[in-house]
Amino acid sequence: MSKLLEGKSALVLGVANRWSLAYAIAEAFQREGAGVALTYQADRQREAVEALAQELGASQVLPCDVSQDQELTALAETLRSAPGRIDAVVHSIAFANREDLGRTFLETSRAGFALAQDISVYSLVAVARALAPLMTAGGSITTLTYLGSTRVVPNYNVMGAAKAALEAAMRYLASELGPRGIRVNAISAGPIKTASARAIKDFSSILDFVAGRAPLRGNTEPGEIADAAVFLASDLGRGVTGNILFVDSGFQIMGL
């Protein structure tokens, strides 16, 4: 039986640990036959990501601080040498200062707002600009978002504004890259216990609330996000672009 991503080359940005959604996606890509490269942000993360790459059987581990254009240029040049072509990119990167998540949105600092937008939103634009020339056969760029982009989620604050901007950026990129055969989509994941989610105050209460009210009466599992990412990166998703795919046990449809 053929695998859904057989013969494709993928780059996954944002793998931090084995509980991260990026790790689950990379694992699913490997399962479906893709060659996978991972990135790490700084030298202090290199050893940990290299260990995860070995677990996954990833082909490359490359440095990339998405806030530095020169590092994105260097990443593209390295990938141009090998594998030479990229078919799928996963952007699983978001950041906000803990103090800005821990206070009201009204009290968000100017610098904190700008930082969240730069790392969580503009990085998608910068990554797409750097890597689109390597997507010579078309392909898929997938980012990760959350319902807090369009609804007020307690304590999500500055990240909610960032995710709203990320979704708008995704749509503009989908429009501009479509003529090249490059599809750009977002997966809106339900709340999941990840290291980054723990920065959100009272996150466990959000998990309990969703599990009790979502149509499927449960929280989202990383594997569900990973399988959705496989679909979007595969030929099965060839007609899908500019979309937000909700993988949240159906919670987004609920009113009360």
Strand 139-145 versus strand 35-40 pairing type: unpaired
Give the mean pLDDT of 200-222: 89
Paired strand residues for 62: 39
**Residue of higher predicted confidence among 207 and 39:** 39
pLDDT given at position 199: 62
Any domain includes 116: yes
Task: Read off the CATH number of the domain in which 200 is found.
Answer: 3.40.50.720
Any domain includes 256: no
**Is 172 an active-site residue?**
no
**How many domains, the chain?**
1
C-alpha dihedral sign at 123, 82, 142, 53? negative
**Which percentage of the chain shows pLDDT scores above 90?**
90
Any domain includes 187: yes
Residue among 40, 122, 146, 172 flagged as catalytic: 146
Any domain includes 196: yes
Instruction: Domain of residue 217: give its range.
Output: 9-247
Any domain includes 1: no
**Strand ranges (DSSP E) for 154-210?**
182-189
Any domain includes 253: no
Paired strand residues for 38: 12, 61
**Nearest residue to 146 (alpha-carbon basis) of 103, 88, 196, 75:** 196
Q: How confident is the model at residue 196 (pLDDT cuts 50, 70, 90)?
A: low
Q: 80 Cβ partners below 8 Å, 6+ apart? A: 134
pLDDT 10s digits, 127-158:
999 999 999 999 999 999 999 999 999 899 99
Residue among 23, 40, 156, 172 flagged as catalytic: 156
Any domain includes 121: yes
**Is 146 an active-site residue?**
yes
Any domain includes 255: no
